[in-house]
Structure 1
Amino acid sequence: MKSDRKSLFRRSACKEIRHSWGWLPVHVSVVALVLFDFLFVCRLHLVTWNVGTASPPPDVTSLLQLNSLGPTMDMYVIGLQEVNSRITNFLSDLAFDDPWSIFFMTVLSPLGYIKLSSVRMQGLLLLIFVKHVHLPFIRDIHTHYIRTGLYGYWGNKGGVTARMSLYGHTICFMNCHLPAHMENTEQRLDDFEKILEMQFEGENIPSTLDHDVLFWFGDLNFRIADYGIHFVRESINNKRYNLLWEKDQLNMAKKKEAFLQEFIEGPLQFKPTYKFDLYSDVYDTSEKKRKPAWTDRILWRVKNLCQHAPKEGEFSEEQTISVTLNNYISHMSYGISDHKPVTGTFGLELKPLLSDPLVTLNPEGEWSSEHDVLISYSAVPEFPSSAWDWIGLFKVAFRHVNDYVTYAWVEDDEISSNKDSKQVYMSAAEIPDMGGEFFLCYYSNNLQSIVGISEPFQIQPNRSLIEKDLTQEENSWMQKPDNLESHNDF
């Protein structure tokens, strides 16, 4: 596949927008896309890591590029393989979030990201985090998984998938763990074809390959064929990775298999990520001495990508989304497993097909727990409302959709309605006494997602409680003995 197919947009206007808006805070970028019928760049950071049943490391700053001087990410997609799936762990994880999900939520929620979606199948875990501001423009979220281990009966191998509509464009993420060992190339390809054929439940949801953009990643387990271990290691030591590319089984398969030829991958300009001694950057020194390989990969596919990009200054109305790879690297400093994590940072250049949220909502007046409070909201005419819709009050650093402080049912708690807006109330008893900064989010039962979010706002502390606490503290102080000198009479 020609390299110039990696981006559909080559006109100067696109470059100007990327330059002008890409370095501003994310909410400014959203304002830009609403005001101008141009492209904007959604910044995506994708992680794949076979964690070998280990617990999370102490720090993931470099893995998530949190110390980068560039613009912050709009979305994080994290695909893990071999998450601890012993029966006791797995059953507890079904009832509660698993340690890796909790870990990443703890890291990302203070930075303004919410866990949008997650799907788990034994050792396979896929997590998606997104900036709050994008929530009203992400819809139709669905997840699925498919087992391929033990002839489809066991989930130690297979794929977990999440899909969504992002500003009207369909995006699909597929985290896979394919069969191991040098000789199983055909089995890997067969399993991947089977994973591609899975169908999401629900009406009018496209098949996997019919999404506008499909990301395929994971421990794909493809090896380096033909060459012996000494040649492979010597090539790696001399950083002559290009000598190994032509014998990489995935690269070889892409030349022969039609269903792989539309998948694009960045250059493998990093050391093979398997197999290492734990807590080191030394390749396998055990008796097996596994040959190094690029088992951990990230690829993507843009639906109906044109053979030739538009010329400078030209633009096709049908070409409303493209994918640009900004970097594709491994992270050698992480040693909790025998695989090194791999990340890809992408720019999704897209022309928004929708720019208005389905629901707009705001808090009315000053909020505190001293009185009941009011919420006003309005919905677009085509919004499919439900009696089970609710509006949640969330702390600014909330982790996921169920991490609300309290909520109101939009029908049961409604107090007024007209053609332009409606009002619901929240009881004073449910409002946090200490106050702070909060969001209001409208959750749609039919769409199974947040479809509206307010600007952050302040809830004032309850003055009467503060005064009561101060009075109690003062009285407590007054009751203390004042002859403190007597304690020193010895």
Structure 2
Amino acid sequence: MYVIGLQEMNCGIMSLLSDTAFEDPWSSFFMDVLSPLSFVKVSSVRMQGLLLLFFAKHQHLPFVQILSTKSTPTGLFGYWGNKGGVNICLKLYGYYISIVNCHLPPHMANNDQRLEHFDRILEMQNFEGQDIPNILDHDLILWFGDMNFRIDDFGLHFVRESIKNRRYSDLWEKDQLSIAKRHDPLLREFQEGPLLFPPTYKFDKNSNNYDTSEKKRKPAWTDRILWRLKRQPQANPQTQRPPAPNFFLSLRSYVSHMMYCVSDHKPVTSTFDLELKPLVSTPPITLMPEGLWTMENVMLISYSLTPDFPSSPWDWIGLYKVGLRHINDYVSYVWVRDNQVSFSDGLSQVYFNISDIPETEGQFLLCYYSNNLHSVVGISKPFKIQPGSSLAEDPLGESQPHI
């Protein structure tokens, strides 16, 4: 999976109108890069200059349920979205995960305001109608963004000399976020990797030089990635051993990328290993294309569903080229109820008209989209659509000659 958060995107009125009608350039860029690797954009949320993207490999799609997306503005007393947070809440193999991308207030003196905005964003992440409405009860919270925390007390010369000599640990004790975690029990529950990379702000644009303007802002680790795991059950009094965790996250890397110079910040990335024991191991829908698919025939799809699946008249099945970029990147689709031809013993069949089948051969797959769950709940194995022949079998009848 890939989770990507951007801040301070172009949020002029023309840019926002264009991005509403079309994919914004950053989303398109990441889809261009990730779709050849079988990653699909599952969800996104934008609030002015904040953008959050979630990608997953297509084989995981039936086990990813997007529960909600939220925007929490904190600028101008909560009425303006130049600052705040955007959130994607999802279930992954039955576990609850919340992802937050934030942009907190800037400037050295506004540390208390940053902490207030952090708390406000956290308080607003309630999910009424869900089994677990409180974000703090979710199995994992990923929280990252331009948090704008600065380095207190130390002078500019000392900070720059420490960076020059790679003595980053000399600066940790005065990092505002580290200080806040020592005093705030809830904030302390959020973990972070060691800051073993140079402060990521502020740079002259198109360079690796820290701010040389008249302001000469002091470098700081403004761009951070935090995570919080739900508290594990207590140890069994008889064995004195805690139960083995079913959901475990470990940090593999936490780095900045100095080669990118398009901003006055340097991007930061983390790589995690996520180990889990699936709470859901069977997809709600099992899809299978019937027979040999060609460009000249009505084609059948068989599917079965689990007993508790909440079907809807607005469910649909999409036909996609292998390498799809996002859920709406279908070649064609059919409404399940409109095109159903049989139903018996939990097995249903729907058909694709000839007009719905592409006229170019290649590798394709089918996805079942649930209107109630707002997610893909079934995906077929890849299959090939071939050119027709002069005599082909109609799956709804008998062999038909083609002229």
Pairwise TM-score range, normalised by the shorter structure: over 0.9
Q: Does 1:417 align with 2:343?
A: yes
Q: Does 1:151 align with 2:43?
A: no
- 1:62-211 matched pairs, under 5 angstroms: 75-199=1-125, 200=127, 202-211=129-138
**330, 333, 355: which one pairs with 1:404?**
330
Distance across 2 between alignment mates of 1:229 and 1:306: 46
The amino acid across from 1:339 in the alignment is: H
**440, 448, 460: which one pairs with 2:366?**
440
Contact 2:43 2:66 in 1 (8 A): no
- 1:267-346 matched pairs, under 5 angstroms: 267-305=194-232, 316-317=242-243, 319-346=245-272
- 1:345-364 matched pairs, under 5 angstroms: 345-364=271-290
**Cα deviation, residue 368, structure 1:** 1.1
The structure whose residues are more often helix, as a share, is 1
Aligned to 2:385: 459
Contact 1:136 1:452 in 2 (8 A): yes
Distance across 1 between alignment mates of 2:129 and 2:88: 13
Distance across 1 between alignment mates of 2:285 and 2:272: 29
Relative contact order higher in (CA < 8 Å, ≥ 6 apart):
1
The amino acid across from 1:146 in the alignment is: T
**Cα deviation, residue 205, structure 1:** 4.5
**163, 178, 192: which one pairs with 1:251?**
178
2:186 is paired with a residue whose SS is helix
Gaps of 5+ in 1: 1-74, 465-490
The structure whose residues are more often strand, as a share, is 2
Contact 1:161 1:175 in 2 (8 A): yes
Could you report, residue by residue, the CA deviation over 1:324-362 in whole angstroms, capped at 9, with x for unpaired residues?
Answer: 000000000000000000000001111111100000001
Aligned to 2:162: 235
- 1:367-382 matched pairs, under 5 angstroms: 367-382=293-308
**For the structure 1 residues 125 and 315, does the alpha-carbon distance in structure 2 shift closer, same or farther, using more than 3 Å as the test?**
farther
Aligned to 1:483: none
**Cα deviation, residue 314, structure 1:** 10
**For the structure 1 residues 306 and 220, does the alpha-carbon distance in structure 2 shift closer, same or farther, using more than 3 Å as the test?**
farther
The amino acid across from 1:233 in the alignment is: R
1:386 is paired with a residue whose SS is coil
Gaps of 5+ in 2: 391-403
Distance across 2 between alignment mates of 1:457 and 1:281: 49
Distance across 1 between alignment mates of 2:61 and 2:153: 48
The RMSD of aligned alpha carbons is: 1.7
Could you report, residue by residue, the CA deviation over 1:417-471 in whole angstroms, capped at 9, with x for unpaired residues?
Answer: 101300000001111111110110000000000000000111113457xxxxxxx
Contact 1:433 1:462 in 2 (8 A): no
Could you report, residue by residue, the CA deviation over 1:54-101 in whole angstroms, capped at 9, with x for unpaired residues?
Answer: xxxxxxxxxxxxxxxxxxxxx000000001000110111122211101
Q: TM-score, normalised by structure 2?
A: 0.93
Q: Does 1:213 align with 2:143?
A: no
**313, 325, 328: which one pairs with 1:387?**
313
Q: TM-score, normalised by structure 1?
A: 0.77
1:191 is paired with a residue whose SS is helix
**Cα deviation, residue 305, structure 1:** 4.0
Could you report, residue by residue, the CA deviation over 1:23-73 in whole angstroms, capped at 9, with x for unpaired residues?
Answer: xxxxxxxxxxxxxxxxxxxxxxxxxxxxxxxxxxxxxxxxxxxxxxxxxxx
**For the structure 1 residues 316 and 411, does the alpha-carbon distance in structure 2 shift closer, same or farther, using more than 3 Å as the test?**
farther
Could you report, residue by residue, the CA deviation over 1:126-149 in whole angstroms, capped at 9, with x for unpaired residues?
Answer: 000100000011114311010000
**189, 195, 200: which one pairs with 1:262?**
189
Distance across 2 between alignment mates of 1:463 and 1:90: 49
